Amino acid sequence: MTGEKRNQERVAFAAACLLVSVSGISAGAQVAQEPSGFQGTVRTEAYRNPIIFTRSELEEKTGKPVRAAKVWVMEEDGSGLRQLTYGPNYNDHPALFSDRTHGLYSEFRGGVFDRKAGARLIKINIYTGEQEVFAAVPGCSLHHVSLTAKDDEIAYQHDCGNQRSQQVGRGPDGYEINMRAVNPVILEDSVIFMHQKDPIASPRRASLVRLYGNGRGARAVFLTDDEHLNRRPVGSPDGQWIAWQTDAAGNEEIFLSRTDGSQTRNVTNAPSNEGHPWFSRDGKWIVFESDRTGSEELWKINLENSKQQQLTSGGKKYSSREPRW
């Protein structure tokens, strides 16, 4: 698929969703209002390798959130830290487009993650704060979005009432994953996602599944066991590796393996809880969240020498999560 055709499909997809939002509104449906205005400072200096993430402000004595999660951005070494979104709405799981100038995130109405409240996908310029509605469907929540590093192929969760589905792609090539799936990420020839066979079981248990094709004739390969909680997978930019969050070692750790499930290893090896991994654009690092300092902060690890570096220092005032490189 050419870049020009892909861009045309992206515009058509966004336009179609917006058309539904405007022309298909019924009583009580979500109205596609303009995103909250930018209240931060415009950045003129280019980021080398930006990381986008969410941050919640906490009450320092109790640790309870006092302001809904917002989208922030920083340089890969933790410098250039800036808040991008404002207002009362809850922001969820941001992603970066391949131009590394624009981000994409889910905006929930109200200050909490509530599927029934409705959520749309918002595109934002990480330098100017300019925002636009990328996709919205009345009465539905679009969230947990991911984008591929090279060509911006999209996957996201689509919730409408009691119906929940995972959508892959856009336009005529888009489809719904035809088995129970959460957190899908796209590879060149397949999709990897978390599969929870019993969503109400406690404790939670889930496996990672690689799905080739869709619909009749699709082939599913289980990459992990289903005796642990394996979740939040991400593929490396070259399509050779996957990383994910798992409690297979007891606490939550970041594991790494080939995309066929071989050569599995624990890359963080910490007594704390780590989560939400994401590869750097060159595939040499993984950024993740960790509570090893007593609060949720962002860290990165070099996959060649296992060197780890703390990127945020919110202390008791901020909780930093869901990083994307």
- Could you tell me if 56 and 121 lie in one domain? yes
Residues 169, 207 within the same domain: no
176, 206, 238: which is the final residue of a domain? 176
Q: Is residue 207 domain-shared with residue 96, that is, in the same domain?
A: no
Residue 213: its pLDDT value, please? Answer: 93
Q: Which of 8-22, 140-154, 202-216, 257-271 has the lowest mean pLDDT?
A: 8-22
Percentage of the chain lying above the pLDDT 90 cut: 74
Mean pLDDT confidence for 254-264: 96
Residues 183 and 167 grouped into a single domain: no
pLDDT of residue 70: 97
At residue 202 the predicted structure's pLDDT band, cuts being 50, 70 and 90, is: confident
Residues 291 and 263 in one domain: yes
Task: Render 127-189 in DSSP notation, one character per residue.
Answer: TT--EEEEE--TTEEEEEEEE-TTT--EEEEEEETTEEEEEES-GGG-EE-SS--EEEEE-SS
Q: Which residue has the higher pLDDT, 170 or 7?
A: 170
Q: Which residues of 194-231 are buried (b: 16+ CB within 10 A; e: fewer)?
A: bbbeeeeeeeebbbbbbbeebeeeeebeebbebebbbb
Rg from Cα positions in the chain:
19
**For 242-250, what is the mean pLDDT?**
96
Are 14 and 140 contained in the same domain?
yes
The arithmetic mean of pLDDT across residues 73-82, rounded, is: 97
Q: Domain check: are 114 and 22 in the same one?
A: yes
DSSP assigned state of 36: P
Domain closes at, from 129, 152, 176 = 176
CATH number (domain holding residue 278): 2.120.10.30
Is residue 172 domain-shared with residue 250, that is, in the same domain?
no
Higher pLDDT, 146 or 171: 146
- How much is the pLDDT for 171? 79
Residue 229 and residue 207 share a domain = yes
- At position 175, the amino acid (one-letter code) is Y
Structure-token pair, residue 56 = 């919640």
pLDDT at 24: 29
Give the HSE-up count for residue 113: Cα atoms under 13 Å, Cβ half-sphere. 14
User: What pLDDT is recorded for position 207?
Assistant: 97
Q: What is the mean pLDDT of residues 16-23?
A: 36
| pLDDT over 80 at 319, yes or no | yes
Report residue 23's pLDDT band, with 50, 70 and 90 as the boundaries: very low
| Cα–Cα dist 284/49, whole Å | 13
Question: What's the CATH code of the domain at 85?
Answer: 2.40.128
Q: Is the pLDDT of residue 30 over 60?
A: no
| CA–CA separation, 149 and 127 (whole Å) | 19
- Looking at 126, 149, 176, the residue that finishes a domain is 176
CB atoms within 10 A of CB 81: 16
Lowest-pLDDT range, 138-152, 193-207, 253-267, 297-311? Answer: 193-207
| Pair 115, 244 in one domain | no
Q: Higher pLDDT residue, 132 or 28?
A: 132
295-319: average pLDDT: 96
Residue 124: domain span: 1-176
What is the pLDDT at residue 33? 52
Mean pLDDT on 182-204 = 90
Q: Are residues 188 and 283 in the same domain?
A: yes
Per-residue pLDDT for 271 more than 60? yes
Give the count of domains, the chain.
Answer: 2
Contact (CB, 8 A) for 86 and 70: yes
Residues 153 and 253 in one domain: no
Q: Stretch 85-110: mean pLDDT, rounded?
A: 96
46-60, 170-184, 216-230 — which is least confidently predicted? 170-184
pLDDT of residue 34: 57
Q: Among residues 319, 324, 310, 321, which one has the least CA distance to residue 59?
A: 319
In this prediction, residue 36 carries a pLDDT of 61
